[in-house]
Structure 1
């Protein structure tokens, strides 16, 4: 019975929420107050800045002259995965380490600690990168050194702080 009441309440909220006009169109009357209201899950710039600072991130912001938007710059940590001194494992062991390495990187992404990872496509000593979205170098270093490839000595880590606009997608 409780589940049915909860389902009915959620359905009612959904229907009421869908009736709100959120966009201005030429053929619609839109209440001006709704245009100033953030979407239910939208976070204001001030709220985002407060949360980032509360979580220990280093940030600064500026206003984009072209758009008037406030851009939040956040310090990330770019880990360069470089070829390590111990690369003579048998193929089966190297393959197993690679699978564990990929699982580690996937877990870092799933947990929100890493935003971007990938290999380089050349023969340099730098095999790939991971961009860590954590508040400190110490945390990024600790997470990067948990990688099974690093523990086995096939890779070594070199980390650099890196500033990027919060929320910008790759293109």
Structure 2
């Protein structure tokens, strides 16, 4: 119940015309806010595609589904938000400040993952303008933007954010 209230609060806040920063909880909840589990006589069972779709819809996610012709499995597509972290305009911090900002940045990303708001967050290994990417698992662009811009390294101007909506199959893994 607490999880649903928190998500509803974020969605309502994000839907207003004015831009507001999404409040990130100080403590990580006991369960990830987007976890789907069905209890059956004390054991967890895999939810059906219909149950997953209903849960995602209730939480405000945009989805669609189709049946794979080969496997006959229902594939659920969900809209995620891919945030590209790009070199920012303010890079005049001294070495000590950069170390502190990087630690705070990594802590922020760990918290986003632990809260279930981000699924992948990794740096690029070339020296281009795009420094990294984070995939946000939230219902709206406004939420993804607010969470990405709450990153201390973004607030300091060392990095800036460019976000794009992205469809991905729910439950698929990198190989």
Q: TM-score, normalised by structure 2?
A: 0.75
For the aligned residue pairs, the C-alpha RMSD in angstroms reads 0.8
**How far does residue 42 in structure 1 lie from its aligned partner after superposition?**
1.3
**How far does residue 124 in structure 1 lie from its aligned partner after superposition?**
0.8
Q: Decide which of 101, 104, 107 is 1:103's aligned counterpart.
A: 107
- 1:73 counterpart residue number: 77
Helix, strand or coil at the partner of 1:116 = strand
Paired residues for 1:38-77 under 5 Å: 40-77=44-81
- 2:161 counterpart residue number: 157
Stretches of structure 1 lacking an aligned partner (at least 5 in a row) = 1-38
Q: Decide which of 127, 131, 147 is 1:143's aligned counterpart.
A: 147
Aligned length: 133
- 1:15 counterpart residue number: none
State whether structure 2 residue 134 is matched by structure 1 residue 126. no
State whether structure 2 residue 96 is matched by structure 1 residue 92. yes
**How far does residue 41 in structure 1 lie from its aligned partner after superposition?**
2.8
Stretches of structure 2 lacking an aligned partner (at least 5 in a row) = 1-42
**How far does residue 40 in structure 1 lie from its aligned partner after superposition?**
3.1
1:101 and 1:58 mapped to 2: Cα distance?
29
Helix, strand or coil at the partner of 1:46 = helix
Cα shift readout 1:124-165 (whole Å, capped 9, x = no counterpart): 100000000000000000000000000000000000000000
- 2:87 counterpart residue number: 83
Q: Decide which of 164, 168, 171 is 1:167's aligned counterpart.
A: 171
Runs of 4+ aligned structure 1 residues displaced above 2 Å come to none
2:173 and 2:105 mapped to 1: Cα distance?
25
Structure of greater Rg:
1
Helix, strand or coil at the partner of 2:61 = coil
